[in-house]
Amino acid sequence: MEMRLNAYIMLADPAFLGPSVRSYYSIVDRIVVSYDENAKSWTGTPLPLEHCLEIIRKLDTEGKCDYRPGHFARPEFNSLQNDTHQRQTALAQASEGADWVLQLDTDEVMPRTDVFLGVLDRADASGAWAMDYPARWLYTRVQPGRFLEASTRLWRLACSFPGPLAVRAGTVLELARQTGSPLYRADVRPWNTDPAGPPETIVHEVVPADAAVLHYSWVRSAEDIARKVGWSGHSDEWRKSGKYGLWLHATRRPKSTVLKTPFARKWRQYRLSRVLDFPDEGV
């Protein structure tokens, strides 16, 4: 029997919303579009909801989108708790009539759906309940099509795994996208490439680097970054850590940032890469 695949998205950030949803639109049956009915973020700040809805309506040429407003800006909870609550709500809604549910954020683009679906088939056959899939973390745009990208100390590709990018219908989330369910993991090398992960992490299969999801996390203008810091589930951490100032420095001095990589701490190691770019999307 053919696998039934749904997805959910949470509307907040228009920057890469169009490219993200279009990258996997053809392979899913239904997309739950989750958003706060009062256009508020998890921290209570205003969101450009109408702009996001306009982008979704324009790209939804086959009527796959299922709009599910709710109340997710709960002041009695912190931003990560609100993040997890909205994801769990959307995941439960997307689980209806599905075998698996995609969990791609709207700043993540899937360049190779054929590879992704192949890994998902093998994850399903293995009996796993969640699938870890590598994402290339793009830090800042140096010029069109040219980015600072997370790397190892010697400029090799380092991937990130913010949580399973696909889970079985009915999965329970613990924090944001993370779950304690049994995992099937793909990576770009036969061993763990995530600086945050333990070296002994099991990798079940290897995928080409050009098939990894592209995560345009901090790829935007300084003004947009400041707004994202305000509404993100990680806003408290970002405000306290000084990450915004580090991003500004790297954006203004990309070459020196790359040259310092062999001597930099983890999470401050970057290389220059050429990948797909969408400079005019979400404007």
CA-based end-to-end distance of the chain: 41
| pLDDT, the chain, mean | 93
Mean pLDDT of all residues in 166-186: 97
> Over 60: is that where the pLDDT of 135 sits?
yes
Confidence of residue 283 (pLDDT cuts 50, 70, 90): very low
Q: Write down the pTM of the prediction.
A: 0.93
| pLDDT, position 234 | 54
- Cα distance between residue 175 and residue 80, in whole Å: 7
Residues 195/100, Cβ–Cβ less than 8 Å: no
What letter does residue 60 receive in the DSSP assignment? -
- Cα distance between residue 214 and residue 112, in whole Å: 10
Express each pLDDT in 162-172 by its tens digit: 999 999 999 99
| pLDDT, position 110 | 98
Q: What are phi and psi of 167, to 5 degrees?
A: -140, 155
Least confident of 30-34, 215-219, 279-283: 279-283
Express each pLDDT in 61-78 by its tens digit: 999 999 999 999 999 999
| pLDDT, position 1 | 64
| pLDDT, position 238 | 57
